[in-house]
Amino acid sequence: MKFDNKTYMLLETGSFARKAIIVGVVGLLLSVVGAFMDHAQFFQAYLTAFTFFTTIGLGGLFFVLIHHITGAYWGVVMRRVAENLACTLPFMGLFMIPLFFGMHDLFHWTHAEAVAHDPILQWKAPYLNTTFFIIRNIIFFVIWAWLARGLRKLSLAQDEGDVSSLAKMRRKAAGGTVLFAITVTLFAFDWIMSLDPHWFSTIFGVYVFSGGFLGALGLLSLLANMLRNNGAGEIITAEHTHDFGKFLFGFTAWWAYIGGAQYFLIWYGNIPEETIWFIHRWEHGWKGVSLFLIIFHFIVPFIILAFRAAKRIPVLIVSIAILVLTMHYVDHFWMINPTFNDHHFQISWMHVTTLLGMGGLFIWWLFWKMASAPIIAMNDPKYQKSVEHTVH
């Protein structure tokens, strides 16, 4: 691909997008074969990939929202990329539809005979019931699509010289953050926490969000580096990857902070109904995954990112971004799969095919969006300041 300095368009993304869609379609076809072989396993793997990519899209949306309400200037050159990343959310909404047909395989609380003998689930039934679940999750995606597409549309109007759109974007972002916080929390409760319907953690939504935002920052760092190497090097510089690196550094610590806070209270209280979730992730072969997560989702990137070079040298940025994204998947794998396999560690080939399948189409959609309009918000009043921005 190539960045055109005059029109600010991303050209020649065709071959890359073609490769992505081939990987995507092949991956999904193999997954469909898997679905006929073992549908329960298929839905577990599919759900892992689904929450993985959706939370990355949500991280992109959050980046845009926070960018507008803080009035930050450093990231104006990367704002359009984040807007496009947020626009993967309506696309991910399509991937949610098959999951509605797998709810019986995934969610214990959908089993009427189990609920009938379970006073706790009966008490939770007004919230945890199939109809309300489907309706509210469609509403979440409608809200996200409305925010993501609306903000991108206003941003494109700004490219055409509409000076009023800056204030409109800011207003939309201010209200949007409130909607975002509520919907993301409930999304995490619904799709991940309710897999174990007796278990609860009020910070769970924040935990899922923290990992998602970290994943989005990893992907944005990769994309910034890619644009930098493909002709946009005079606009997107080491100064911008440096700031993404700082963000990654901060949110690596924040993810650990939230995860630690969740673990800490449950460990301290030591009540069986709460500790069961961590016991499922510590015993019967899952201990290794938990330790792997702590070491490579927190300790290793935290130490590496403390150094200046890790935020400025392209090969290091790319390595750390790939590590962060990989660990984001491990995080979701760790949240979702031990619930179903609490006797022994298990990973299926369908985890790979669903990840590649959804990932291929996700990347294809993202690049199609990125190539469909100028990739730089060049008419933002803070644009020039962002280009000239230097890190101290």
Q: Which residues bind another protein (CB under 8 A)?
A: 260, 263-264, 267-268, 270, 306, 308, 390
Q: Of 295 and 306, which has the nearer Cβ to another protein?
A: 306
- Is residue 94 within 8 Å of 28, Cβ to Cβ? no
Quote the least distance from Cβ 283 to another protein, whole Å. 17
Q: Where are the beta strands (DSSP E) in the chain?
A: 2-3, 10-11
Q: Of 182 and 306, which has the nearer Cβ to another protein?
A: 306
Q: Of 22 and 309, which has the nearer Cβ to another protein?
A: 309
Quote the least distance from Cβ 267 to another protein, whole Å. 5
Q: Of 100 and 267, which has the nearer Cβ to another protein?
A: 267
64 exposure class (CB count in 10 Å sphere: 0-12, 13-18, 19+): buried
Q: Which residues lie closer than 8 Å to 265 by C-beta, 6 or more apart?
A: none
Quote the least distance from Cβ 209 to another protein, whole Å. 21
Nearest-Å Rg of the Cα atoms of the chain is: 21
Nearest Cα residue to 205 out of 218, 196, 192: 192
Q: Which residues lie closer than 8 Å to 241 by C-beta, 6 or more apart?
A: 221, 224, 225, 228, 311, 312, 314, 317
Q: Of 216 and 256, which has the nearer Cβ to another protein?
A: 256
Q: Which residues lie closer than 8 Å to 268 by C-beta, 6 or more apart?
A: none
Quote the least distance from Cβ 208 to another protein, whole Å. 22
Q: What are phi and psi of 16, to 5 degrees?
A: -65, -45
Q: Are strands 2-3 and 10-11 parallel, antiparallel or unpaired?
A: antiparallel
DSSP one-letter code for 294: I
Terminus-to-terminus CA distance in the chain, angstroms? 32
Quote the least distance from Cβ 270 to another protein, whole Å. 7
Quote the least distance from Cβ 157 to another protein, whole Å. 32
Q: Of 15 and 390, which has the nearer Cβ to another protein?
A: 390
